[in-house]
Amino acid sequence: MPSSPTRVVLLTGATDGLGRALADHLADRPGTLLILHGRDASKLEAVRRTLEGSRAEIATVVADLGDLDRVRDLARQVAGLTDRLDVLVNNAGTAPPDRRLTVDGHELTFAVNYLAPFVLTRELLPLLTAAAPARVVHVASLSTSPVDFDDLTMEGGYDQGRAYGRSKRALVADGFTLAGELPADRVTINSLHPGSLMPTKMVRESGGRTVDTLETGVESTLRLADDPALDGVTGRFYDRQELASAPEAADPEFRRRLLAVTRELVGTE
């Protein structure tokens, strides 16, 4: 690891799809310490080997984001590699076809797509503020579904699309909430829909047709991580590169209730 990289980036979900494509682009940045996260150690090592010789310094961290203890351990792993974090890209996601519960008793899609970035971002705030101005990018979606607070484990009936949509609505909502709590000149938090039905693992496994290319998603995501025009811009949701509205996620009452329930679920209240 370089003694003093000019930029440190953490990318979750770096072994497939959009995350893998982002890793290729970010690895081409000299003076960067690129920390790649994955759940599967062997796949992550294969990515690292592929990127050997790139202009960025590459480090890897392994964690199952379906286990909140492992999420907290992931933050500790990152802190062991660096004392600052300039960019956090919360990209990892899942959407299994059947209902699954995590070791913590949470519905898996909600846990990985929402609870994990909720915990990870807050655990890493000391590193983010140390690198101020820093950026957090939530890879979300235009796909959105209501969050039934009375059935967060979807025991009453599981639907893959609804599970995915509600997790992404929650992620965007928390992006708005946390952005309102942090000074924009220290840490900005923005969310985006990177593209529709890109050729990712989730789309391939669902048998869906592709619409946008991975390059569309890469360009849209890197813009939020890099573009100087977005310095100090926070609490926004973008459809690719255009500002978009998310009225359900922005609803103050929904956000208040979501925050209270989430704190209970992750054990911070």
Residues with catalytic annotation?
Answer: 164
For residue 159, what are its two tokens?
A: 């639907």
Structure tokens at 233: 């811009």
Structure tokens at 215: 């390059």
- Coil/strand/helix, residue 53: coil
35 burial type by CB count under 10 A (0-12 exposed, 13-18 middle, 19+ buried): buried
Query: How far are the Cα atoms of 99, 153, 266 from residue 156, in angstroms, in the given order?
Result: 11, 8, 22
Map 142-179 to HEC letters.
Answer: CCCCCCCCCCCCCCCCCCHHHHHHHHHHHHHHHHHHHH
Sign, CA torsion 63/32/136/93: negative
Report the alpha-carbon distance of residue 176 to residue 179 in Å, rounded.
Answer: 5
